[in-house]
Amino acid sequence: MTFIGVDLAWGERNWTGLCLAQDDRVVESQLVRSDEQILEWLRPRTRGPCVVGIDAPLILRNATGGRPCERALNRCFGPFEAGCYYSNTTRVRPRAARLAETLGLDTDPVFTPRSPVRRAVEVYPHAALVSLFGLPRSLKYKGRRGRTVESRHEAFRELVRRVKSLARRVPRLDVTAAPRWAKLERTVTTDPKGASLDRGEDELDAFVCAYVAAHLWAHGPARNRIVGDTDTGYVVTPVTPELAACLDRPGESDP
């Protein structure tokens, strides 16, 4: 079974991170920009059974505001500083949906665990990391106002340590098997240039996206939640029992 992570940029001027996992290990990863480059990379890797985790809106129909799934995520993950931005058709291009349609991938996240499906599902790395590792708050490795290169290095070191530990999880994923891993780890933990850290962030997020895809395939609804639906949009995320209870409980701001 093939699992792919796509940290999809909102536009073609920015980098998109890609990651391919097979047989419990990361086989390859890459950074590209254009839709043509993304499709060229994905086409031969998605011909057979696969689950592709995409960090970008797959189903987006609201012209303003945010989707119900985003409000639900923010209600439950906001206390962990892992909320997400709102998306709508005014602000976001339907890039992920076009890619999935071109590749012939079904975007329904509901399927029998461990079955030979071909699916693309929307995921969100920050929420996934909080759930998978029981973090008290999200890791601050992204470039934001007030964050220094040194503070980002520290957050990246924690992220690298956590992602490496996936080799001891179920499903298992050995990220260090990736041909680009050694250089990627060195870049995000030592490089003094913010632009280099941003590129490393995109690639590492794709590793997380691929793992969430594998986690959904392996465990289904027992240890994941599909937040939202295929009418208004959804996000797949691993959950702790506490987060599962929160997401299962409707909030006033969710509809």
pLDDT at position 15: 98
The CA distance from 127 to 103, in Å, is 27
pTM assigned to the model:
0.97
For the chain, the residue count is 255
pLDDT at position 91: 87
| Structural tokens at position 22 | 């097979």
Query: In whole numbers, what is the pLDDT of the chain averaged over residues?
Result: 97
Pairing of strands 50-54, 233-238: unpaired
pLDDT at position 45: 99
Number of other residues whose CB lies within 10 A of the CB of residue 195: 10
Which neighbouring-strand residues pair with 156? none
CB 33 within 8 A of CB 182: no
Supply the DSSP symbol for 82: -
Sign of dihedral through CA atoms 66, 155, 225, 212?
Answer: positive
pLDDT in tens, 135-193: 999 999 999 999 999 999 999 999 999 999 999 999 999 999 999 999 999 999 999 99
Q: What is the mean pLDDT of residues 91-110?
A: 96
pLDDT tops 80 at residue 254: no
| Closest CA relative to residue 69, chosen from 240, 231, 245 | 231
Beta strands in the chain (DSSP E): 2-7, 16-22, 25-32, 50-54, 118-122, 224-229, 233-238
pLDDT tops 70 at residue 19: yes
pLDDT bin (cut points 50, 70, 90) of residue 92 is confident
| Closest CA relative to residue 5, chosen from 227, 187, 194, 217 | 217
pLDDT at position 252: 54
pLDDT in tens, 29-82: 999 999 999 999 999 999 999 999 999 999 999 999 999 999 999 999 999 999
| Closest CA relative to residue 22, chosen from 36, 41, 34, 4 | 4
The CA distance from 222 to 129, in Å, is 17
The CA distance from 164 to 126, in Å, is 16
Q: What is the mean pLDDT of residues 108-123?
A: 98
Three-state secondary structure call for residue 109: coil
pLDDT tops 90 at residue 93: no
Report the half-sphere exposure of 228 (CA within 13 A, side-chain side): 27
pLDDT tops 70 at residue 125: yes
- Each domain of the chain, given as residue ranges in start order, spans 2-136+208-248
pLDDT at position 69: 98
